[in-house]
Amino acid sequence: MKKMTWVCATFEAQDKKNELKAQELLSSLLMDAGGVAVAHDCVLVLCFVEALEAMEAAVVAQWKFQRSQSEAKARIGIHIGDLSTALELVFVTNGNQIIFTQEIDIATNGMLDARLLGNFKLSDSEPVRQLWLSTDSRPKIDARPVRLHEQR
C-alpha cells in the first residue's frame, strides 16, 4: 500500500480573522490541485497520493497565496508517511517557507529546487531527519533557519 503525502499548514497572521481567511484560501488552492482535506483542530491538513504532486501544489499555492494575501504568511510542512511527522514539521517552519523531509527528496528523485537545512530531531519520538527548504523561485522564500537545533 502506498504511503500518503501529507501537506500541513499554519499561518503567521495579525489576527484570527486574517488567519481564517488565509486558511480558507490556501485550503481551496491545495484542494484545487488534488489535495484531500482532512479534519484537524488547529492545522490545515491535506493528503496527496504522489509526493511530486504535493510539492508542486504547495509551491504553486504558496505563490498564489502570497500574491493575494499580504496580512498572513503560510508555513507549510510536507512529509510522506506519518501525519504526526508532518504536524511536527509545520510547527518548526517559519512564515513563507515550505519545509520537507528527506523522504520527499527521495520520492522525487532529488528533482526539487531546494536547499538542505541539515539534520534535525523533530521530537523525542522521532528519528533524526534531513530537512529541506524549498527554494523554488516562484514564492518569496523566507530564509530564516527552522526553529530547532541541528543534530550532528
Helix, strand, or coil (residue 89): helix
Contact between 5 and 104 (Cβ < 8 Å): yes
What does the mean pLDDT of the chain come to?
85
Contacts of 111-115 spanning 24+ positions with Cβ under 8 A: 111/52, 112/55, 112/136, 113/137
Contact between 147 and 120 (Cβ < 8 Å): no
Instruction: Tell me the C-alpha distance between 90 and 70, whole Å.
Output: 20
Q: Is the dihedral of CA 47, 133, 128, 88 positive or negative?
A: negative
| Type of residue numbered 64 | K
Instruction: Tell me the C-alpha distance between 136 and 76, whole Å.
Output: 14
Instruction: Tell me the C-alpha distance between 125 and 99, whole Å.
Output: 19
- Dump pLDDT digits (tens) for 114-141: 888 888 888 877 788 888 888 775 656 6
User: And the C-alpha cell for 104?
Assistant: 520527499
- pLDDT category of residue 77 using cuts at 50, 70 and 90: very high
Task: Look up the pTM and report it.
Answer: 0.87
Helix, strand, or coil (residue 16): helix
